[in-house]
Each structure stands twice: as C-alpha cells, then as structure tokens.
Amino acid sequence: MTGQALPLATHPVHLGPDGAALDLPPMAGDMQWYQAYEAAHGAEGAQARLVSLHHFTQDWDGWEMHPHGAEVVICIAGEAVLIQRDSAGAETHIALAAGDRAINPAGVWHTADVSDQASLLFITLGTGTEGMKREK
C-alpha cells in the first residue's frame, strides 16, 4: 500500500494477475521506460495491463500498435480523433469527447489528432508495443 495519492499522468499503474495493482516508477515518456516495464512484467503475458494517462495538445507524431492485446482508450477531457489503420491500409476515424471510449484491437496501428487538447486514459497490455514515425 502506498498511502499516498500520485498523479496518474506521471505514475502509471500495473494491473497484474490475481488482482494485483502496483505503483510503477515515474514515466519518463521514452522507449527505455517501456523496455524496463516489459522486462519487469512481460512474463505475466495477457494477464496484465498498464494503466496510464496522457495529456495532448497536438497531433501524435507517430503510430503505435499492440500485437498481443487490445487497448481501451477513454477520453476524460477535451477532444481527439483516434485513427486506426487495418492491415489493408484502410483507416477508421473515431471522434472522442470527454466520457467517450474506443478500443484499439490487437495488431491495429493507431494514432490520434487533437484539435485543442485532450486527456486520454489508456488501459493496454503494454508489452510488445511497436511504433513508427507518422508521415503527414
């Protein structure tokens, strides 16, 4: 038990097997943080989830994909358009406003456009995430 409130935007939570909920080190926002997370929790496989909160003021500059499990995206403030691209290259655009949610299926590349600002809560498998630069 941590006995303290921590901001989710900087301190994600790991949901593990058997109902475990663990504080994680402060999120640095780089691939090294995710690699350390995967090293620590990757063996739990599909039985675990990463819960994180991110605030955006501009469009994402990359695409990401979670090959091993779906991701739930919940807009808690502002507005964003989630863009999903299937294996054939077809895109689906999902407008999210506060209180809306969407699901990124496993293996589907996704990115987002943000008109002004958006706060998005993510619940994802977290391990095996792939990324690539977004060309506009």
pLDDT tens column, 55-113:
999 999 999 999 999 999 999 999 999 999 998 999 999 999 999 999 999 999 999 99
Position 59 in a domain: yes
Give me 88's structure tokens: 């054939």
85 or 115, higher pLDDT: 85
Position 135 in a domain: no
Domain of residue 102, residue span: 13-129
Q: Is the pLDDT confidence value at 1 over 60?
A: no
Q: Is the pLDDT confidence value at 34 over 90?
A: no
Q: Indicate the number of domains in the chain.
A: 1
Q: Which pLDDT value is given to residue 53? A: 96
What average pLDDT does the chain have? 92
Position 65 in a domain: yes
Position 4 in a domain: no
Q: Which pLDDT value is given to residue 16? A: 93
Position 51 in a domain: yes
* The one-letter amino acid at 27: M
Position 48 in a domain: yes
Q: How far apart are CA 46 and CA 68, in angstroms?
A: 7
Are the C-beta atoms of residues 128 and 38 closer than 8 Å to each other? yes
- The pTM for the full model equals 0.91
Taking CA atoms, 60 is separated from 42, 115, 133, in Å, by 26, 11, 9
Position 17 in a domain: yes
The CATH number linked to 110 is 2.60.120.10
Q: How far apart are CA 104 and CA 85, in angstroms?
A: 10
Position 5 in a domain: no
